[in-house]
Amino acid sequence: MDAGRVLIVEDDEAIATGLALNLKLAGRTTAIARDGDEALRLAGEEDFALILLDINLPKKNGLDDVCIDLAQRLVARDGVEVKLTHLEFELLVYFVRHPAQVFSRTHLFNVVWGQSAGSARTVDNFVGQLRKRFEGNPEAPRHFITVRGSGYRFDP
């Protein structure tokens, strides 16, 4: 049974090959991206079950060694599980699947919460929580960006 493909984002050939071989032994199929641009292209073309992301990449860096396992709904940073609520996980996955795109609070609220009634400002609180968990300095975010007058953008 295929548990879904894994995208390995790693510029070091030896590390990427080693990871791919170990995952193959575990019954997983893989794709390898050598830089951030290639990773974004591949992630846009296919829904991967898991993305293993190197922190220091040519062209675009990773989100601080964050690993998202969609099948098990797990998120790890530097090998340590990050506890997220159901909706924090959904918002993170939506951002990761749509990098460098600006979304209004209302759009994010409708897509992630699945409703149009309620306060779109709820999104602000959830983005704040993602910043606290994943940004080195939540007060000066590098990944979860506020686009004044428009909403939010995720920069990997």
What is the full per-residue pLDDT of the chain (156 aa) written as tens digits? Answer: 356 899 999 888 999 999 999 999 989 999 999 987 888 888 888 888 888 887 666 666 556 688 888 888 999 887 789 999 999 999 999 998 888 899 999 999 999 998 766 787 899 999 999 999 999 899 999 999 999 999 999 988
- Any residues with CB less than 8 A from the CB of 73 and at least 6 apart, and which? 89
Beta bridge partners of 77: 66, 80
Q: What ranges do the domains of the chain cover? A: 1-83, 87-156
- Domain 1-83 - what CATH class? alpha beta
Handedness of CA 112, 118, 121, 124 (dihedral sign): negative
What would you report as the CA-atom Rg of the chain, rounded to the nearest whole angstrom?
16
Contact predicate 26/36, CB 8 Å = no
- Domain 87-156 falls under CATH 3.90.600.10: no
